[in-house]
Amino acid sequence: MELDYKIILWVITFCMAIWGYLIYIRDMLKWKTKPHLFSWLVFSILWIISFLIQHNDWAGPWAWWALWATLITFVITLLAFKYGSKDITKSDTISFILALISVVFYIVIPDPTYSLLLVMLILALALYPTFRKSWYKSTEETFITYVLVWIRYFLSIFAISHFSFLTLAYPIYLLIINVSLLSLLIIRKKTLNIK
């Protein structure tokens, strides 16, 4: 019975993901949302790593989600080459290079716990350009997508079949990071009086 409950949660979060990313992609194609290319390029790499870690530690439905997220992130990354933010700063470049260097460390470190911690560090570095851009250009992000992502990550934690540091740390970290970005967007919209 527990497996059925987890699969139902996974289906709900999967549908929310499809809805949220379709809205995000629609807004990209309308030039309303402009994802930061460096962030999304690293996100694609991170989701591949996350899927492999989750799959190897029997995360169940969460691993299926990680595989789907890998595919949709790759699509958004490809679209970001045309529709993404072109304001790449020196700090964005440094963050991107450090993230790529961290990926190399991930490949050479066999311990999955250290690898996961590295992935979390890489994500923080990769998100810096998105946070910076969202601070200055908060209207270039699709707010509803981040609301759906927050709900989705919260629910997806309960869809994990095997609870361990390796299976729980990354989704919880994603939840915290997303809440931070969502909070930043809310603060900026209120500060700038954007509806």
Angle of helix 112-136 versus helix 37-56 axis, rounded to 10: 150
Cβ-in-10-Å burial (0-12, 13-18, 19+) of 92 comes to buried
List the domain range (segments joined by +) for residue 53: 2-191
Give the distance between the most distant pair of CA atoms in the chain: 52
Instruction: Give yes or no for residue 66 having a pLDDT over 80.
Output: no
Contacts of 159 (CB under 8 A, 6+ apart): 6, 7, 9, 10, 13, 60, 61, 62, 65
Contact 184/131 with Cβ under 8 angstroms? Answer: yes
pLDDT at 29: 94
Write the pLDDT tens digit of every residue in 74-103: 999 999 999 988 777 887 788 778 777 777
Q: How many domains does the chain have?
A: 1
Q: Please give the mean pLDDT across all residues of the chain.
A: 80
Convert 6-25 to b/e letters by CB count within 10 Å (16 or more is b): beebbeebbebbeebbebbb
Write the pLDDT tens digit of every residue in 120-176: 887 788 888 888 888 888 787 877 888 888 888 888 787 777 788 877 887 888 889
Mean predicted confidence (pLDDT) in 54-62: 62
